[in-house]
Amino acid sequence: MEFKIDRKEVLRYLQTAKDIEDKNINRLLAESISEIKELINFRYLYHKFPIEHTKEGVKIKNTTLTLKGRSIKKHLQNSAEIYLMAATLGAQVDKKISFYEKISVTKSMIFDACATTAIEEGCDRVEAEIKEKALKEGNDDITFRYSPGYGDLGIDIQKEFLRILKAPKKIGLTASSYNMLLPTKSVTAIIGVIDKKTAAEEHSIKQEQKIENSKDRDLEFEKRHCKNCLLYEDCELRRKGIYCGAKG
């Protein structure tokens, strides 16, 4: 897979202006983008499972896992099937970030932001691939990707999640005892399949969400819910103006 790595996205992760004029920073940025392209060993996998909404939570059939919490329940309320996906940029990217941490903190920040941009780009494409599949099978849409640790979905399911996909063996993706994904530039996510029946319903929810998000992010909402979230600082969804569904 060829990676593009959008400069604008990298700058957004670095929280700088879109048109930063610093020559040095721009040079480091250009260097980082071309270096990381050589190092990425993008590996991903996904698998479709039927689900069952139970009192306990969302039960993933044929597996050991039940997804607990209000936010994931809401996320999957219109789905009877889900995809579990996992993706990683591989270990060499991590090694290079560590390398630059020793040589130049500036470069390591920029390189790290490039890596984050790359894994998101990779996941966007996996998501698109899943969407295409789902649509071909006659479904109406899919939900956005929802990761362990968002909202009130516990991060402690990480190891079980990876085991279900056999991700350690197949793509070299593991979780530490502290449930940190390693290599670090990796993602696990849950995507709900929305079939035609429930599509109409979902449509109205989406409209609602759109209204919520239309005011250049619903600040009131963020104040009430996101601020309480442990992932507030790092939340990719919030940056995109998407609300994960958790009531804080």
Partner 1 sequence: MKIVSLEERGFTVELKAKLGKEIILFDGAMGTVLQQRGLKAGDVPEKLNIENSKEIIDIHKSYLKAGAEIITTNTFGANALKMQEIKYSVEEIITAGVENARQAVIELGVDAAVALDMGPLGELLEPMGSLTFDEAYDLYQQQVLVGVEYGADLIHIETISDLYEARAAVLAAKENSNLPVFCTLTFEEDGRTFTGGSIRSMISVLEGLGVDGIGLNCSLGPEKLEPLVEEVLEYSEKPVILQANAGLPIVEDGETVFKISPEDYFKPLARLYEKGLAVVGGCCGTNEEFISLIADNLKNKKVKERNVINESLVCSPSQYVNLAGVNVVGERINPTGKAAFKQALRNDDLDYILKVAVEEVDAGADILDVNLGLPEIEEKEMMVKIIKELQGILDTPLQIDSSDPEVIEEALKYYNGIAIVNSVNGEIEVLENTFPAVKKYGAAVIGLTMDDDGIPDTAAGRFEIAKRIVKKAAEYGISRDKIIIDCLTLTASAQQEGVKETLKALKMVKNELGVKTTLGVSNVSFGLPARPVLNRTFLSMALYQGLNLPIIDPNDEEMMAAVKAAAVLNNIDQGATEYIKYMAEVETNSAKTENSQEKNKSHDLKTVIVKGLKSEAANLTEEILKEKEALEVVNSYLIPALDIVGNRYEKGEIFLPQLVQSAETVKEAFAILKQDMASKGGRDISKGTIVMATVKGDVHDIGKNIVKTVLENYGYQIIDLGRNVNIKEVVQAVKENQIKLLGLSALMTTTVKNMEKTINAVREISPTTKIMVGGAVLTADYAKMIEADYYARDAREAVEIARKIFTD
Under the rule (CB under 8 A), what is the footprint of partner 1?
Answer: 14-17, 20, 22, 24-25, 28, 41, 43, 47-50, 62-65, 90-92, 94-95, 97-99, 101-106, 108-110, 112, 155-156, 159-161, 163-165, 168-172, 174-180, 182-184, 230-231, 233-234
Q: How far is the CB of 164 from partner 1 (least distance, A)?
A: 4
Rounded CA separation 147/189 (Å): 4
Q: How far is the CB of 200 from partner 1 (least distance, A)?
A: 27
Q: How far is the CB of 203 from partner 1 (least distance, A)?
A: 27
- Residue placing its CB nearer to partner 1 in the complex, 45 or 205: 45
In terms of residues, how long is the chain? 248
| Cα 165 versus chain centre, distance | 17
Token pair belonging to 132: 């295409």
Token pair belonging to 126: 């996996």
Q: Residue written as tokens 């099978």?
A: 137
Q: How far is the CB of 184 from partner 1 (least distance, A)?
A: 7
Task: Kindly give, in sequence order, each residue whose CB lies less than 8 Å from that of residue 112, ignoring residues fewer than 6 positions away.
Answer: 97
Rounded CA separation 94/98 (Å): 6
